[in-house]
Chains A and B, each alone.
Chain A
Amino acid sequence: MRMLPILLLVLVACNAAPNLETRTFALQHLRPEDAATMIEPYVYDQREGAPGRITHTDQVLTVRETRDNLERIAAVLVEYDKPKPWVRLHFQIIEADGARAADPRIADVEAELRKLFRFTGYRLLTEAVMSGTARSDVSQSVGEGDGQFFIEVVIHDVRTVNDTGIVAMQVRLRSLIGLGLGSQINAREGQTVVLGNTQVGEGPRRSTVILTVRPELIRS
C-alpha cells in the first residue's frame, strides 16, 4: 500500500503533456524537404495533447517540440547543413599494346599493369579532368577523329567513411571504335581505379583501352 501513491504519481506524470517550444532554423545548404525528412524521427507528431510539428518554407524550417528535442534537431542540422563537397576527377585513357617506350605520366599504373597482363606496352592517349558535387552529372568529349572518347560520370554520393572520403560514382566511356566501358564504383580519395576490358574494336583496329579515374576531394 505504501507504493500506491508513488505508482499514482508515476501514472499522472506519464500522462502529463510536455511543454513545447517553437524554433525556426534557417537552412544554408540543405533543401527544406530533405531537412524535414532528416529531423522527422525527432518530432513526436503523434504525441497526445502536445503533438510536435514541422513546417517549412523557402530555406526555413520551423519546428514545435520539447526544448530537449529542439536541441537535438539543432545539433543534427549543424552537422548536416553543410555545402556539398566538390570532387575533382582525374581521368587517363590508356591504350594497351600502344607503345614500348615508357611514359612517366602513367608510370605508376603501368608498373602494376605489367605485373598483371602481358601487353607489350602502354600509351597514354589522352587525359581529362572533371569536377562536380554529389548528385551531379558531368561529361566530357576528349580526343579527335576516331580517337575521340566520351566520358560520362554520375556522381551519386561523396561521403566520409572512417575519416576517408569515398566517391560513389558511375563511370562510362564510349568511343567510335565500339568501346563500351562502365562501372558503378566506390573510389577512395587519392585511389586510382583502373578500368579495362578486352572487347574493343574490330580487325586491325582492335585494341584494349583502359580508363583510369582518381578522385580528389576539394575541401574548402
Chain B
Amino acid sequence: MGSLLVQEKDIIIPGEILAEGMDYLPGENTYRENDKIHARVLGLVTLSGRVVKVTPLSGPYVPMIGDKIIAKVVDITMSGWRLNTNTAYLALLNVKDATTRFVRKQEDLSQIIAIGEYVIVMIINVTSQRLIDASMREPGLQKIVGGRIIEINSQKVPRIIGKKGSMISLIKTHTGCEITVGQNGLIWIKGTPEGEHKAELAIKIIEERSHLSGLTEAMEKYLGETHDL
C-alpha cells in the first residue's frame, strides 16, 4: 500500500521522503529509490494526479529552446556577438539572426550592437554541452535602450508574470512602466524614474514572498496603497 507523506504546498528539503509505495510516480525534481520517492531540490510539493513533483524555490536557470531572455553583450566575433546569459554559459547571436538588413562583410558590428549593451533574445538552440544560439528575429526582440535592468532568481519568474500575465499587467498598470521579463531572471523596466522604482520594489516583494498563495491580491493592495509614491 502506498501513501503520501506530504501535502501539496509543503516546503520540503533535498532528500526528504515524499511518498512510499508504488502508488505514486516521481515527477520533476524527484527521484525514486527502492519504494520511496525523494525530493531532489528545496521547494514546494505539487501534485498532479498520481505524480508528485517539486517546484523549486531557488536555483540556477537552465537554458531551454524557445525561452525569451535578457542578455548582455560581452564580446564580438567575426560573425556575431557573444552574450552573457546570466548562467555558466555564453550564447552566440549570429549577424543573420540579429538584423534583417544587409550587413556588408567588412562592417563594424559594434556599430549595430556594442559591447556592454543589453538585448532581448530568444534561445533557438541548446546543445548537450550548453552551447546556446540566440536570435532576435521575432517581434519584441530588440536591443535595450533606456530604463533599468534588475535581477531576480529565475525560478521566481512565473510568479512575477502570474497566471496569464495577471501579475505583470497589474504592475504595469499601477506604475505606468513597460516591463519585459526574461526567463533567465533579468527584468527590463522602462518608465518614469518614480514608476521604475516602484515597479522594482514590487518585484522584489513578489520574489521574497513567492512561496505564499494569494499574492496577486496582496500586490493589488500594496500597489494601490502606495500609488502616490
User: Is B truly associated with A?
Assistant: no
Which residues in B have some Cβ–Cβ distance to A below 8 Å?
Answer: none
